[in-house]
Amino acid sequence: MKREMICIGCPLGCQLCAKLTETGEFVSVSGNTCKRGAEYARTECTDPRRTLTTTLRCADGGVVAVKTEQPIPKDRLLEAMKQLNQMIVPLPVSIGDVLALDVFGSRIVACQNRQKG
């Protein structure tokens, strides 16, 4: 069987076509211009992951922009959001600060500076 997808590895957005066995195992890919596209197709067919970007509540009632340091399993994104919605971040926060150590295998890092008040 075949599965078509657009590579998100760069702005070119190559149209990929992955070939899978009847049981869904990855066999090959075509349409990629570089190795990153081949790796994206393999991962998307076997263990799809996404970088989660969101905001966390801060102690002053505002929010701070954050993201997962590594892509996490796509089917865990909602669960990760539920976990993160429970957090209240003490201020100040600087870009790159680690705000959680393990959310489905990734640290959560701040994407902006936030001062007290």
> Which residues make up the interface to ligand SF4 (CB under 6 A)?
7, 9-10, 12-14, 32-34, 36-37
Residue 14 or 45 with smaller CB distance to ligand SF4: 14
Q: Which two tokens stand for residue 109?
A: 């890092």
Neighbours of 56 (CB within 10 A): 20
| Cβ–Cβ < 8 Å for 78, 66 | no
Query: How are beta strands 53-58 and 88-89 bridged, if at all?
Result: parallel
- Scan for tokens 């399993």, then name that residue: 73
Q: Shortest approach of ligand SF4 to residue 72 CB, angstroms?
A: 21
Question: Which residue is nearest to ligand SF4, using beta carbons?
Answer: 37
Closest to ligand SF4 by CB, 10 vs 59, is: 10
> Nearer Cβ to ligand SF4, position 8 or 88?
8
